[in-house]
Chains A and B, each alone.
Chain A
């Protein structure tokens, strides 16, 4: 009997050792929507976030210890094209852009005479907006630096820099949710979502999805390492699918952290993010294997004047 137990223990132990351990992989993600894809890693020492995306690109180099890098797709592909030793593995944020009306527009239809706020001139929001709407609205577009400034415009109903009244604001989740539910905002109960940019983008692109953030993995010839990466990606896919269906899963991970620590690590209050996901996944979380989504990726990067991607940059 004793021998049997010993044999059983040996078999169990050896089966455990042959399992690929993904917990040692070092991950970095920008705060905001992409970070929440890693809700299951909230308590891991190998998971870190950074509030400045350009700082994450700086980590994509030969000496970097990061195995998994989440970053906006265009920046990541550009880094690879400049020699960063990484491969594009999957798309995890498929757009969280919206146009919100401030309630100042009398006819409630966005037209040439309306003042529109865009953030990030010549960057993703600007290029996506122009891809969808062309130059029809250019006469009355005002730019602000980032989504936080755009959010202030939505909350006040005016451009705080110029003082001009604003009718529509291009903004992203989850900050949009914060503003719409801010009782102290001047536009509270008047402001509302006017357009889902993801849907408009799909209409324009033959149903191809908008690609925001992606996962880039370290390029290696080591088959054991690549197997570990593959296992990690499988579990990430499962995590993302699960949390879209049940955002309360975050309670067991992010919810275990001190509120302020969690907000700092993820860049937003997770209780609010749960509500954003519950609202038809308007955070834009998803998981698509990059190589299977090449057409959509190529379509998206063409907005930035980039050529079609080479299959060599994909993790297969």
Chain B
């Protein structure tokens, strides 16, 4: 067991080294110095410089704050609608067009609508809700549909109203499914938050706003953009790692 874990870590590091190698190669092949595709060394140096300033932590905090608000609202809606749809084929069918629309609608086209409705500061929250809702909803529905039918029937025989049945039996039994949905969409929600900050053109703090500002200030220097992106990637990797560990612990 320990050997397989250490092997996994070795392969993981080989993957990282390969990735950096490809990055070097692309930077070399594309050329043009910092203008298009800066190399990893310059990017890492800039990342260290950015991390030494207070501003980046404000940006990360601001992005996380808005993302978490949107994500929590999305979880609440997904649980409500997922429980209803998981228990009723009719409701599930009624929700199919809405879900299909949410999944396929181009994010950019919603930006203008949300800007008018809630302004550039809060528009990313709505975008996070709309993008993560279908994934979370499906994980809730999937969780309920995978509960053993006999268990459901037994709770019906035991009596108790629908709400109690849902809260005491269905929700706990489908929890691991919901957790999978949460962990797989959390990273996506963070990416959406950054993209939404760029699309809405918001200039208050946020990782997306920081990327946009560096691009506007000096368009010939892509190093800060790469460095900010690298910080976001590392952050998302940490989130994924933590959520995977949590998921494993809960399912054990």
Contacts and interface: CB of A to CB of B under 8 A. Distances in A.
Interface string A32-66: 10000000000000001111101100110101100
A294 B156 CA distance: 77
B2 interface: no
Nearest 6 pairs of A and B residues by beta carbon: A148-B219, A52-B201, A264-B213, A51-B201, A260-B55, A50-B201
A267 B217 contact: yes
B216 interface: yes
A269 B218 CA distance: 9
A298 interface: no
Nearest to A262: B213
A130 interface: no
B200 interface: yes
A152 interface: yes
A165 to B, nearest CB: 14
Contacts of A147: 219
Interface of A: 31-32, 48-52, 54-55, 58-59, 61, 63-64, 147-149, 151-152, 155-156, 160, 175, 178-179, 182, 184-185, 258, 260-261, 263-265, 267-269
Does more than half of chain B's interface fall in helix, strand or loop, or is it mixed? helix
Given A156-B35, A265-B203, A260 B210 contact: yes
A155 B220 contact: yes
B220 A152 contact: yes
Contacts of A50: 120, 200-203
Nearest to B213: A264
Nearest to A174: B217
A263 B218 CA distance: 11
A265 B205 CA distance: 9
A32 B203 CA distance: 12
B111 A55 contact: yes
Nearest to A52: B201
Nearest to A154: B220
A254 to B, nearest CB: 13
Contacts of B98: none
Given A31-B201, A55-B111, A264-B210, 15 more contacts: A31-B203, A31-B216, A50-B201, A51-B201, A51-B212, A54-B112, A55-B112, A64-B116, A155-B35, A156-B220, A160-B36, A184-B220, A260-B53, A261-B205, A268-B216
Contacts of A64: 116
Interface in B153-194: none
Interface of B: 32-36, 53-55, 111-112, 115-116, 119-121, 199-205, 209-210, 212-221
B190 to A, nearest CB: 19
A32 B216 contact: yes
A264 B203 contact: yes
A46 B121 CA distance: 13
A269 to B, nearest CB: 6
A152 B112 contact: no
A70 B133 CA distance: 36
A315 B18 CA distance: 62
A254 B172 CA distance: 53
Contacts of A51: 201-203, 212-213, 216
Contact of B217 (A58, A149, A156, A268): A268
Given A50-B120, A58-B115, A258-B54, A152 B35 contact: yes
